[in-house]
Amino acid sequence: MAVLTALRLVRGAGSVAGRRVLVTGAGRGIGRLLVELAAALGAEVTAVVRDAGEAAETARLGARQVVTADAVPGAFEGSFDVVYEAAAGDLIAAGRGLAADGATVFLYESWPAPPEPSRRDRAAGGLRAVRTRDGRAPVERLLGAAVPG
């Protein structure tokens, strides 16, 4: 579900190629996916994460700048064309003047990942990949339409 939400949010912004994009809550869940998708589509992504532990991985996903939440005040130069604001975050981007005139601001909610299934659940065969007639997972098919290559 997180992938579909991230995909809809990125599509909702139109073309992000060459645009400045801010993603708060970027260290996990939907925010992490937004960083990866926007960067793959050519956006200049700035990511806000909770702590330094999430920063390195978020940069690897394509963020040009990664800022920890405690360093947010005064951490940005200029404004952003697209803002993805995590509802759980304490940064209100539009209210702090980070959204450019005419920017698109999205508010999304993200939760921590669900717990890993137990060994018993895995052994019982309860986990299966869902495939479509063309053999690809539905998410792969959707991403193939949005992300080149």
Q: What is the residue-level pLDDT of the chain in tens, covering all 149 positions? A: 788 889 999 999 999 999 999 998 898 889 999 999 999 999 999 999 988 889 999 999 999 999 887 776 667 778 899 999 886 555 556 556 788 888 988 888 765 554 455 555 445 444 433 334 444 444 444 444 444 44
What is the spatial distance between Cα 100 and Cα 127, in angstroms, rounded to a whole number? Answer: 44
Closest listed residue to residue 146, CA positions, set 25, 20, 42: 42
Question: What integer pLDDT is reported at residue 141 of this predicted model?
Answer: 44
Asked if 103 and 83 touch (Cβ cutoff 8 Å), the reply is yes
Asked if 69 and 49 touch (Cβ cutoff 8 Å), the reply is yes
Question: What integer pLDDT is reported at residue 146 of this predicted model?
Answer: 47
Which domains, ranges and CATH numbers included, belong to the chain? 2-112+124-146 (3.40.50.720)
Query: Which position has the token pair 């080149």?
Result: 148
* Amino acid type, 134: D
**DSSP notation for 6-70:** HHHHHHHT---TT-EEEEESTTSHHHHHHHHHHHHTT-EEEEEESSHHHHHHHHHTT-SEEEEGG
Compute how many other C-beta atoms are within 10 angstroms of the C-beta atom of residue 95: 10
Question: What integer pLDDT is reported at residue 109 of this predicted model?
Answer: 76
What is the spatial distance between Cα 144 and Cα 149, in angstroms, rounded to a whole number? Answer: 8
* Amino acid type, 50: R
